[in-house]
Structure 1
Amino acid sequence: MERVARFAMTGGIGFVVDVGLLSFLTVVFDVNPYVARVFAILVAMTTTWVINRRYTFKVHDRVTETRDVVAEGGRYGLVAVAAALVNYAVYAATLYSLPEYILGTDDLSPPLAAVVGSGVAMFFSYYGYSRFAFRAGAVTATRDPA
């Protein structure tokens, strides 16, 4: 349960990075919300990898060899990309189907759609990170050095 709480907190930080950058790009620079979301997801993904590795799954001190960190990063990337595809698909569908007149402004549509997409992807990503991406950290930590 404690790991789930840490994952939720890390996800909350990633969500703030994601929606903050998305809003910044769409409102300040008038970037297309579909394009802006790609950049926002990539930055949030990188942020959450660092936090998940150190705080949520606590593998930063067990997985230290470059080869193992690269393998972990690759596994994390696979899960993150799959979760991002789910997240983006739900985001795009929500953004497309969300009538602007309900919110009164189109500036609120991208963040609201991001909430829906992130909420759906959260379940997928937790399972993938806990069962696949950081799973090898425990194996590496218990490996006999002899």
Structure 2
Amino acid sequence: METVLKRTPEPLRSVLIKHRELLKFAIVGGTTFVVDNGVWYFLKLSVLESKPTTAKAIAIIVATIVSYILNREWSFRTRGGRERHHEAALFFVISGIAVVVNLIPLYVSRYVLDLEVPHVTRLVQEVADFASGSIIGMLLAMFFRFWGFKKWVFPDELGERRRDSGDVTRLH
């Protein structure tokens, strides 16, 4: 990422450096978006065809584990400083609440608006599932997670311990 920044013209470079945590969080989010949707569609189109919400919940859990590792070791690596088990517990509590936030639009789409076969065509069902579960739900959950992670899981005031122990705050 350092090489990309060197090639980025000013003033964009300054903005990216200023908002480096958000940028890193967004890159991790893009990665986990691919993981989440890959697992979801695999399960939804195979072994859990009749249970799309269950398939989505499993996919979110897998993506959340990947998210913890990437956020802890990269996005928020200069923050935090709690004992690892305490930090992980807080991460998964915030992420668990975010799972519920993520599932609400899909649940509404399927079971309140009846956007599922036989009420609509398969194409309409899949577009509605994607829009509600992978766009609306994921965006709502992403904003909640970013706020919760910064406030409770990786608070900046605890990050002083990690920075003082030799961690650098550069974007890389």
Normalised to the residue count of structure 2, the TM-score between the two structures is 0.70
**Within the alignment, does 1:41 sit opposite 2:73 as a pair?**
no
- The DSSP-based 3-state class of the residue aligned with 1:28 is coil
Distance 1:75 1:50 in 2: 14
**Pairing partner for 1:123 from 143, 150, 161:** 143
Paired residue for 1:87? 102
Residue segments in structure 1 that go unaligned for 5+ positions in a row: none
Greater Rg by CA: 2
Residue segments in structure 2 that go unaligned for 5+ positions in a row: 1-18, 166-172
Distance 1:57 1:91 in 2: 30
Distance 1:28 1:94 in 2: 21
- Contact 1:72–1:133 (CA<8 Å) still a contact in 2? yes
Paired residue for 2:30? 12
Q: Percent identity?
A: 24
Distance 1:28 1:105 in 2: 19
Amino acid in the other structure paired with 1:123 = F
Give the paired residue count: 140
- Contact 2:115–2:124 (CA<8 Å) still a contact in 1? no
Question: Given the superposition, is the C-alpha separation of residues 47 and 31 from structure 1 closer, same or farther in structure 2, using an over 3 Å criterion?
Answer: farther
Deviations for 1:57-99, whole angstroms, at most 9, x for unmatched residues?
0159x85xxx811011011011111111111122211333263
- Contact 2:78–2:163 (CA<8 Å) still a contact in 1? no
- The DSSP-based 3-state class of the residue aligned with 1:58 is coil
- Contact 1:14–1:48 (CA<8 Å) still a contact in 2? yes
Amino acid in the other structure paired with 2:108 = A
